[in-house]
Amino acid sequence: MKVVDVMQRNVVTVTEGDALALARQLMLWRGVRHLPVVRTGRVVGMLSERDLLSWIGPEGVQHAIEGTVEDAMKRPVETIEPWAPLADAAATMSVKKLGCLPVVNEGELVGIITNTDLLGSMAQYPLPEAGPDTLDAGAIMTTDLQAALSDDPLLDAAARMFQHGSRHLPVMDGMQRVVGMLSDRDIREAIGNPLLALEDKTRSARIASLRVSDAMTREPRTFSIDSPLSLLVGALVEENFGAVPVVDEEGRLLGIVSYIDLLKVLQRQLAAR
């Protein structure tokens, strides 16, 4: 399979001079999390939902956003060609922990491929010799992970995530049972840019007083260690989860499966064809 087989062709874009408030509205209207930034048809940056949340600051997403796309966008941008093997896209996105790749042909933007597009291909095109149902959560889950307690200070959890390069923290009670999931998006919505908050913990008494329970997603969907890969793919694609916890019969944490883990599986399967 090639990138062109699964990429999205109808791409919403912005320019460097567009207002960030407009970019935010475009994301909401179109239900997207990434906007390629173009100049005369060529990609010069990428603006993600995380970039916007970082830019908003600690007063919350309900306040007006000032500035232009150029102020918050990321550059340079990783891109991929439409005729590249799908395995190359999966490898790039899993290694570099990217949520999407703009697709360019002779320098011109022709599409975009997201982790949801890639994971959807696992369910749509199962591989006969190593298909999705031949693997389970226990075979691919990450067990060397960080976790938090629900009453931990939120800034401490943010520091832990930043230090270990994590985007998701399972949240446990005193019996190691999973009671929530904390994502970097949850943290950004609660405190704005976590780097700024960590550099100056005293600038806001409200931020310093927040606990993990104030920002986490409660009662997350959990999976058993023998849950088939196809079920995990369905949860991350259809329910738009970034990661899901794997638990034992008592609800105690065993590991997590993230979209990065699934992209690694997809890359290996496609490379073996």
Predicted confidence (pLDDT) per residue in 119-158, tens digit = 888 765 554 444 444 678 999 999 988 899 999 999 899 8
Q: Which two three-digit tokens encode residue 56?
A: 């908003």
Residues 182 and 206 in one domain: yes
State which of 89, 124, 159 marks the end of a domain.
124
Separate counts of helices (H) and strands (E) for the chain: 14, 10
The three-state secondary structure class of 115 is helix
Give dist(CA 218, CA 198) in Å, integer. Answer: 24
Report the CATH number at residue 156. 3.10.580.10
Residues 209 and 239 in one domain: yes
Please report the pLDDT score of residue 23 as a whole number.
93
pTM assigned to the model: 0.76
Please report the pLDDT score of residue 265 as a whole number.
87
Q: Which two three-digit tokens encode residue 117?
A: 């597009």
Q: How many CB atoms lie within 10 A of CB 128?
A: 7
Residues 31 and 114 in one domain: yes
269: in domain: no
Short-list 192, 184, 182, CA closest to 253: 182
Specify whether the CB–CB gap between 249 and 176 falls below 8 A: no
Residues 228 and 142 in one domain: yes
Total number of domains constituting the chain: 2
272: in domain: no
62: Cβ contacts below 8 Å, ≥ 6 apart: none
Give the DSSP H/E element, type plus range, for residue 35: strand 34-39
Q: How many residues does the chain have?
A: 273
Please report the pLDDT score of residue 57 as a whole number.
54
pLDDT in tens, 16-68: 999 998 998 999 898 888 999 999 989 999 999 888 877 765 444 444 577 89
User: Does the structure show a pLDDT above 60 at 176?
Assistant: yes
Please report the pLDDT score of residue 273 as a whole number.
66
